[in-house]
């Protein structure tokens, strides 16, 4: 099974988790880059405003071994911004959603709110609903458990 992990990370939390997942699944991993400085409080505010406005910023081209349409599964990782997926991930989904055969989602969050409605928001860009999803608060009690549960679910879909 050919799996691609694609993610955006402002603070490094989503990046760390997606790299762990790609290492466990022995698959390709790509970071999305929109070239926007999102550091500090100003970057946090800019990110939240873009998410609330459902903006779709240009994302730099990235290279993968195969075309996105050739992967059996694309795992998409995003932080939650203002109750939505990150703007760079929205851009990726808008451009590539119709090419993705099967998708799974990894959402990172800072609060106890699970934000599971973000899965449905992301599904709007795909031709079929996601097959697995997890929402994780990095560093919290149980975050490793939920990551491993997600990996188990994805591995169960490989057959």
Strands 3-7 and 84-85: unpaired
Does domain 3-157 match CATH 3.40.50.360? Answer: yes
Element (H, E) at 135: strand 132-136
Give φ, ψ of 66 to 5 degrees. Answer: -115, 165
pTM for the predicted model, two decimal places:
0.93
Q: Where are the domains of the chain?
A: 3-157
Average pLDDT, the chain: 93
Which residue is it, tokens 């910023």? 57
At 56-82, the pLDDT tens digits run 888 999 999 999 999 999 999 999 999
At 87-112, the pLDDT tens digits run 999 999 999 999 999 999 999 999 89
Element (H, E) at 104: strand 103-108
Under the banding of pLDDT at 50, 70 and 90, the label for residue 159 is low
């Amino acid at each position: 099974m050919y799996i691609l992990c694609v993610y955006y990370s402002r603070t490094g939390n989503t990046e760390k988790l997606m790299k762990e997942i790609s290492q466990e699944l022995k698959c390709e991993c790509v970071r999305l880059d929109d070239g926007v400085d999102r550091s500090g409080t100003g970057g946090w505010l800019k990110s939240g405003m873009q998410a609330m406005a459902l903006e779709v910023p240009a994302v730099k081209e990235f290279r993968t071994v195969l075309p996105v349409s050739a992967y059996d599964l694309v795992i998409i990782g995003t932080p939650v911004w203002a109750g939505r997926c990150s703007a760079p991930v929205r851009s990726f989904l808008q451009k590539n959603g119709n090419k993705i055969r099967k998708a799974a989602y990894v959402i990172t969050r800072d609060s106890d709110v699970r934000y599971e409605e973000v899965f449905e928001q992301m599904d709007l860009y795909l031709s079929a609903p996601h097959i697995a999803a997890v929402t994780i608060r990095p560093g919290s009690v149980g975050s490793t458990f939920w990551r491993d549960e997600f990996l188990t679910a994805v591995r169960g879909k490989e057959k």
